[in-house]
């Protein structure tokens, strides 16, 4: 591969691109050189705002000779198509979550990338932030003894309360499990290891919802996916975890992520944030509490870990294989809700070691 900085191109100039462009500009290991979108005017506007030299349609990125890594920020339905096109153009890919919307196409993408000697990475990279990484290092160091269980809770009344076009959250490929599950399930897998089976129950509070805000407020739309899921996960290494995902809850409670060991409990930060509080409880008493700032990390640190891992000949920590395993878990949850039976999870991601203490995207890798 080429030396740092690595040339990066973004496909998709929507809302999330602002966060990526803001942070990637501060990371010296990468340089954003092209921005593409089906709406070329939007791509041009973002390129101008962030000083990106080239813009146009998706091909302005996919065909650019100096782009070594494509950041795929398209809508979920286009993720596999754009990622596959990038791989066929000889480029590594970082994809927003989810990796794909079915197992077969996501698996085919990873297999094709591997056959071409290319890496795929996938969001969320919040799990690489200093908050969760501090908790993961404590768990790995045996701070609370032998790991027994994990607990994850993400519940709220639903995005129809605040999103002007919320329909996609409540149709195939949406729901609280596919929308928010990646943050919590990725964290559970990083802490407790791969999942081997899930059993889940769930349903939905109502079959029709009403848009609450924006120009279409008052319009009704159908709900076609479970909007509450109660999940029990078995991990290969022995522990189990409990997860609750809901868009039906009258009480908003998000960011609950706890790990119980034989000698205590670690309360990790919200896995949808880069920093946060890590607290250790022993015998019902708070034993330790550390506030971890985000330390300049933000969306795009997964890209930095990816280019550093490539340089070191190692798979990225937020790898496509890890994202595929999480996708496999999420589909298994839906299948278990449907069938009422446990569902085996057969995919096994590579083990991702925690980042070393003090890892920073802001200082160029020597």
| Radius of gyration, CA atoms only, the chain | 20
Coil, strand, or helix at residue 73? coil
97 is catalytic: yes
Place of tokens 């479970």: 226
| From 64, 92, 97, 308, the catalytic residue | 97
Contact 269, 275 (CB under 8 A): yes
d(CA 206, CA 60) in angstroms, rounded, equals 44
Gap between the Cα atoms of 183 and 152, Å rounded: 10
Of the chain, the end-to-end C-alpha distance in Å amounts to 16
Cβ atoms of 185 and 177 closer than 8 Å: no
154 and 122 in contact (C-beta within 8 Å)? no
The tokens for 56 are: 């146009």
CA atoms within 13 A on the CB side of 90: 7
What's the token pair of residue 161? 């309360």
DSSP 329: H
Active site members = 97
């Amino acid at each position: 591969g080429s030396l740092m900085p690595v040339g990066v191109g973004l496909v998709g100039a929507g809302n999330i691109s602002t966060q990526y462009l803001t942070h990637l500009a501060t990371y010296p290991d990468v340089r954003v050189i092209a921005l593409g979108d089906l709406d070329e005017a939007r791509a041009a506007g973002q390129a101008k705002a962030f000083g990106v030299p080239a813009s146009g349609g998706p091909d302005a990125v996919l065909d650019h000779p100096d782009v070594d890594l494509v950041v795929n920020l398209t809508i979920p339905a286009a993720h596999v198509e754009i990622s596959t096109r990038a791989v066929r153009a000889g480029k590594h890919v970082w994809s927003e979550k989810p990796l794909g919307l079915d197992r077969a196409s996501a698996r085919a993408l990873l297999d094709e990338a591997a056959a071409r000697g290319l890496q795929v990475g996938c969001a969320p990279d919040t799990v690489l932030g200093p908050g969760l990484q501090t908790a993961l290092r404590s768990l790995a160091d045996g701070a609370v003894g032998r790991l027994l269980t994990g607990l994850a809770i993400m519940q709220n009344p639903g995005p129809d309360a605040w999103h002007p076009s919320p329909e996609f959250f409540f149709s195939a490929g949406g729901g609280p499990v596919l929308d928010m599950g990646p943050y919590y399930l990725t964290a559970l897998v990083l802490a407790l290891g791969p999942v081997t089976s899930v059993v889940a129950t769930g349903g939905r509070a109502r079959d029709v919802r009403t848009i609450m805000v924006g120009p279409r407020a008052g319009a009704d739309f159908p709900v076609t996916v479970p909007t509450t899921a109660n999940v029990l996960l078995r991990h290969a290494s022995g522990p189990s975890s409990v997860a609750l995902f809901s868009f039906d809850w009258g009480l908003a409670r998000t960011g609950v992520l706890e790990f119980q060991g034989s000698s205590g409990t670690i309360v990790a930060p919200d896995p949808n944030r880069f920093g946060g509080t890590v607290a250790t409880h022993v015998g019902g008493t708070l034993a330790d509490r550390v506030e971890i700032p985000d330390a300049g990390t933000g969306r795009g640190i997964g890209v930095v870990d990816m280019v550093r891992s490539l340089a070191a000949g190692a798979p990225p920590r937020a790898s496509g294989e890890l994202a595929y395993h999480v996708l496999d878990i999420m589909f298994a949850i839906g299948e278990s809700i449907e069938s009422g039976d446990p569902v085996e999870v057969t995919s096994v991601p590579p083990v991702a070691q925690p980042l070393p203490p003090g890892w920073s995207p802001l200082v160029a890798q020597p």
